[in-house]
Amino acid sequence: MKCSMYRFSSAALWLPGVLVALFTGSATAAPFQNGSFETNTGSAAAGWSNTGPIVFTSDEGATDGTQSAIFNGANQVPSAVVWQTFDTIPSQNYFLDFDFGKYAAGSPDTIIQQLQIEVRDGASPSSGGQLIVAGSGTTNGASGGTIFSNTSTPQVRDSSGAVINSLQFSHFTFQFIATSGTSTLVFRDQADGTVNTDGALDSVAVTVPEPASLTAFAAAGLALMRRRRHTE
Ligand SMILES: [Ca+2]
Ligand SMILES: [Ca+2]
């Protein structure tokens, strides 16, 4: 109802606010979008910004639709960063969910595919405070974010229910609390090698948890919650 009120306001009322937002850089972004990377040009994905060796493709598997984000493909040095700035509500709790997997052309291999996960206050991938307050995965407390190693091998199923065999995906959940109207989610490639193996990201979702879910999240722990989700 609040939106309707602003929508039907006269231009004289909302224009000054827009101008202030433009000149102060505090304009809101957009709702979180394209978390499954289905809308892409191969080198870019709608709603996301990226640098370094990353492609969006169906070549190596997906857990939703056909497309995923592939890090350090073609034996390139792991250094890609992909990020999205989206609207958030200050003081609101959010869940960040995604699937991250390791593609391996030969097995076994000893290279670890890993990502640094950050949710930052503001519209930049390199500034603003870190907002993540809890998370799953094996964390090592890297400066400015959280790195987890995808050395476990639980499999998740794609949207058709089929187990993905060529790529070992794991599901991860993080909780963050927004502090302003715009937040930026950042994934940084931190693989410790690249030859014959790539990292794959898909099914990224930012959701507002039900109060009961948040309580359960804190009480039961992230690992338990993940197990429940995948055995239901
Ligand atoms: Ca997808
Ligand atoms: Ca690679």
Q: Is the pLDDT of residue 31 over 70?
A: yes
pTM, full prediction: 0.75
How much distance in Å is there from the Cα of 214 to the middle of ligand 2? 36
Give the total number of structural domains in the chain: 1
Closest CA to 181 of 87, 85, 112, 79: 87
* E strand or H helix at 49: strand 49-51
CATH code, domain carrying 127: 2.60.120.260
Mean pLDDT of the chain: 75
Taking alpha carbons only, the member of 181, 208, 185, 179 closest to residue 29 is: 181
Taking residues 198-221, report their average pLDDT. Answer: 81
Q: Is residue 209 predicted with pLDDT exceeding 90?
A: no
The lowest-confidence range among 5-19, 75-89, 131-145, 169-183 is 5-19
In a domain, 9, yes or no: no
Q: Which of 87-91, 121-125, 126-130 has the lowest mean pLDDT?
A: 126-130
Q: How confident is the model at residue 38 (pLDDT cuts 50, 70, 90)?
A: very high
Ligand nearest to the CA of 99: 1
- Determine the Cα–Cα distance for residues 215 and 203; give it in Å rounded to an integer: 24
Q: Cα(221)–Cα(145) distance, rounded to whole angstroms? A: 20
At residue 84 the predicted structure's pLDDT band, cuts being 50, 70 and 90, is very high
Q: Contacts for 126-133 with beta carbons within 8 Å, 24 or more apart? A: 128/184, 129/179, 131/176, 131/177, 131/178, 131/179, 131/183, 132/96, 132/174, 132/175, 132/176, 133/175, 133/176, 133/177
Q: Give the model's confidence band at 179: pLDDT under 50 very low, under 70 low, under 90 confident, else very high.
A: very high
What is the DSSP secondary structure assignment for residue 61, as one 8-state letter?
A: -
Residue percentage of the chain with pLDDT more than 90: 38
In a domain, 68, yes or no: yes
Provide the CB-side half-sphere exposure for 192 (13 A, CA). Answer: 9
Cα separation of 71 and 67, whole Å?
A: 13
Local structure of residue 168 (DSSP, 8 states): E
Q: Domain containing 157: what range?
A: 29-231
From ligand 1's centre to the CA of 69, what distance in Å? Answer: 8
Between these two residues, 218 and 27, which has the higher pLDDT value?
A: 218
* pLDDT score, position 147: 52
154-163 tens-digit pLDDT:
444 455 555 5
Distance CA 132, CA 147 (A): 12
Identity of the amino acid at 120: R
Kindly state whether residue 21 falls inside one of the protein's structural domains.
no
Give the residue, 148 or 69, on which the prediction is more confident. Answer: 69
pLDDT of residue 125: 87
- Judge whether 179 lies within some domain: yes
What spacing in Å lies between the alpha carbon of 35 and ligand 2's midpoint? Answer: 22
pLDDT at residue number 106: 67
Please check whether residue 23 lies inside any domain of the structure: no
- For ligand 1, a single-atom ion, which residues have Cβ within 5 Å? 36, 62, 64-65, 67, 202
The reported pLDDT for the residue numbered 142 is: 43
Relative to the alpha carbon of 64, which ligand is closest? 1
Q: What percent of the chain has pLDDT over 70?
A: 64
CA of 26 relative to ligand 1 center, distance in Å: 31
- Ligand closest to the CA atom of residue 45: 1
